[in-house]
A and B are shown apart, each in its own frame.
Chain A
Amino acid sequence: MKFLPFGIFKVVGTSMSPLYTPGMRILVWRWFRLLKPGDVVVLSDPRDGRRIVKRVEKILDGDLEEKYHVLGDNKNESTDSRVFGPVSKESILGKVVWHG
Chain B
Amino acid sequence: MITKMIAPLVSMLPATPVYAHCDVPCGIYDPKPAQIAAATVLKMVQKLAALTPPNPSSTPQDILNYQNDTTRMIWTKEEHARKCKTELYILWSDYFKPEHLEKFPDLHTKFWTAVKLCSENKQHVSEESAQKLIAAVDEIAQMFVESKK
Contact = CB atoms under 8 A, between A and B. Distances in A.
B1 interface: no
| Chain B interface residue number, banded | 20 to 34
B60 interface: no
Contacts of B13: 8
Contacts, number: 84
A54 B19 CA distance: 9
B16 A52 contact: no
24 contacts: A8-B10, A9-B16, A11-B20, A12-B18, A12-B19, A12-B21, A13-B19, A13-B21, A14-B20, A15-B22, A20-B20, A22-B20, A25-B11, A26-B18, A53-B18, A54-B20, A74-B20, A75-B99, A76-B26, A78-B21, A78-B22, A82-B97, A82-B98, A83-B23
List the 8 closest A-B pairs by CB distance, nearest first.
A10-B15, A9-B18, A16-B20, A13-B20, A15-B20, A79-B23, A77-B26, A13-B21
